[in-house]
Amino acid sequence: MTGPVIKELRITPIAITDPPLLNSVGIHAPYALRTIIELVSEDNITGISEIPGNVDIDELLRQSEEIVVGSDPFQLNKLKSTLFQRYGHQEHDVRGDNPWDDRKLIHVYSALEVACLDLQGKVCNRPVVDLLGGRCRDYVPFGAYLFYKTEGAGGVFGHHIDANATGWAAARQARAENPQEIVDQARSMFEEFGFNSIKLKGGVFPPEQEVAAMHALSEAFGPQVPLRFDPNGVWSVETSIKYGKSLKGILEYLEDPTRGQQGMATVRQALNMPLATNMCTTSFEDIPGSIALGSEDIILSDHHFWGGLRASVYLGKICETFGKGLSMHSNSHLGISLIAMVHMAAAIPNLTYDLDTHYPWQSEEVIKGGRVKFEEGKVAVPTEPGLGISLDRAMLQQLHENYVKCGIKRRDDTSEMKKLYPDWEFMPIRW
C-alpha cells in the first residue's frame, strides 16, 4: 500500500499589523512576519501551517522542497531525519538571546510537520487531535496576555498603519505604562475575550514599576484570577530573588526572571515559588540540564520551535514523568498557529495551565470565516478533518502584499526601539 504523495510545497511570507508592544529587547514593529506553508498532495488535498516569518527560515524552507516534494506526509520520522542529515550542520543555528527562538531548521521541520498532520487528518477524515492520541478536553483555555505599549494601535509613532484593520487590537489605542493602565488593558481584554487568567510581559520598566503593576492586578482581579509575570530574563539572580519575594503569594508562576538554567535554579531554590520558562529550556537537548539543576517547574512549549505537534506531545509526557507543568508560549500569530496549538493542547493530558497567545493583539486573519472566536477565554477544539480550517486566498494575497510593501525581512524589535529612543540598547541583564 502506498500513501499520499506531496507534489507541491507553497511558501507565502505575510506581514500582519502588530501594535507597538514593548518587551525586553525593544518594541514590536508595525508588522509582524509569519510564513504560511501549503503542502499539496497528488490527490489535490492541501495541508497548511503557519510559523514565525523570517527570510532565513523561508530560504531554508525553499531549499527543503527537494526533500518534501515526492514524500509521503505520514513519513514524519523520515522527513525529519532527512532534513537534519541534509541541513543539520548549518552554522549559527542557535536559539540566540531574544525572547523568541532563532533556530532555522527546527522551525522548518515544525512548519512541515503541522502541514503534514493537517494532510494526514484530511486523508484519514479525522481531526489532528485524534492523530495525537485523542482529545482530553473539548475547549482549550487561554490567558489574557498584557503588554506594556506606547500609544496607538500600529507602529512606534502611534499612527494606525492599516486603515482596514478592525477588532479589539485595532481599536486599542491606549498607552499602557503605569499600573493603572495595565489594569485597564486587562479589563478591556477580559471584557472582549472572557479570559480568566493574566500574564504581563515585563522586563521593560524598572522592577519596582512592574511589581507594582502585578500588585495592582492582584488587587483589581482578586485571588480567583491566576497571575503570571514574565521579565524575559533581564533580571540578575539577585534582582530576581529580591523582587520575586515581593511577588510571593500573588503569582501562579514567575516566568524567566533571569537567564540560563543555573541562574533559574538558584532563583527557584531561593524563592520556593513556581518558575516557568520558554527561554532556558527550549529544546530536548536542554532537558537533562533542566532535570539535573531543577531550573523550572513549568515548561512553556511552542510547537514552532520544539519540532511540531508530536514533539510537543512527547514534551508533555516528559513533563508528566518528571512532575513538571506544561503550558504554551506564543508570538504574534494568526489562526492557523492558534488552531494547531488548540489541537495539540487538547491532546496533552497534563496541560493544565491556560495557554499564552498574542492572538488578541492581531486584527487580520488568513483563514476562511475570519477571526477565531474565544468563548470565556477558550477556543473550541475543531471536529473537522485535519486542522479543520482552510485558507482565505484573498486575505493570503493581501497579507503577502503587506509583506512585500513593508520591507521587513526578519524580526528586529531593537532597531524599531531605536527609532523612538536612538540611545536605547539591548542588555541581556538590565537590572
Catalytic residues: 201, 329
C-alpha cell of residue 62: 525553499
Q: From the CB of 116, what's the least distance to a copy of itself, in Å?
A: 9
Looking at the Cβ atoms of 268 and 430, the one nearer to a copy of itself is 268
Q: From the CB of 306, what's the least distance to a copy of itself, in Å?
A: 11
Q: From the CB of 346, what's the least distance to a copy of itself, in Å?
A: 9
Among 75, 85, 173, 269, the residue binding a copy of itself under the rule CB under 8 A is 75
Looking at the Cβ atoms of 138 and 151, the one nearer to a copy of itself is 138
Pairing of strands 378-380, 139-141: antiparallel
* Amino acid identity at 145: Y
Residue 238: partners with Cβ closer than 8 Å, 6 or more residues away: none
Interaction of residue 131 with a copy of itself, rule CB under 8 A: yes
CA distance 171 to 363: 9
Q: Following CA atoms 68, 285, 330, 314 in sequence, which dihedral angle do they give, to the nearest 10 degrees? A: 70
Looking at the Cβ atoms of 266 and 312, the one nearer to a copy of itself is 312
Interaction of residue 141 with a copy of itself, rule CB under 8 A: no
* Contacts (CB under 8 A) with a copy of itself, residues 297-356: 310, 313-314, 317-318, 320-323, 347, 349
- Residue closest to 199 by CA, chosen among 236, 232, 240: 232
Looking at the Cβ atoms of 269 and 321, the one nearer to a copy of itself is 321
Looking at the Cβ atoms of 212 and 287, the one nearer to a copy of itself is 287
Interaction of residue 125 with a copy of itself, rule CB under 8 A: yes
Interaction of residue 424 with a copy of itself, rule CB under 8 A: no
Among 139, 384, 409, 429, the residue binding a copy of itself under the rule CB under 8 A is 384
How many chain residues interact with a copy of itself (CB under 8 A)? 40
Burial class, 420, CB count within 10 angstroms (exposed 0-12 / middle 13-18 / buried 19+) = middle
Among 86, 95, 135, 187, the residue binding a copy of itself under the rule CB under 8 A is 135
Check residue 323 and give left, alpha or beta (phi > 0: left; psi -120 to 50: alpha): left
* Contacts (CB under 8 A) with a copy of itself, residues 186-225: none
Among 69, 136, 171, 420, the residue binding a copy of itself under the rule CB under 8 A is 136
Interaction of residue 369 with a copy of itself, rule CB under 8 A: no
Q: From the CB of 102, what's the least distance to a copy of itself, in Å?
A: 22
Interaction of residue 81 with a copy of itself, rule CB under 8 A: yes
Looking at the Cβ atoms of 74 and 205, the one nearer to a copy of itself is 74
The rounded Cα 80 to chain-centroid distance in angstroms is: 22
* Contacts (CB under 8 A) with a copy of itself, residues 385-404: 385
Interaction of residue 134 with a copy of itself, rule CB under 8 A: yes
Q: Are 35 and 57 in contact (CB under 8 A)?
A: yes
Q: Which residues pair with 52 in a beta bridge?
A: 34
Q: From the CB of 209, what's the least distance to a copy of itself, in Å?
A: 40
CA distance 297 to 300: 10
Site string for a copy of itself, 273-302 (x = CB under 8 A): -----------xx-xx--x-----------
Interaction of residue 77 with a copy of itself, rule CB under 8 A: yes
Interaction of residue 69 with a copy of itself, rule CB under 8 A: no
Q: Which residues would be at the binding site for a copy of itself (CB under 8 A)?
A: 1, 3, 72, 74-79, 81, 123-127, 130-131, 133-136, 284-285, 287-288, 291, 310, 313-314, 317-318, 320-323, 347, 349, 383-385
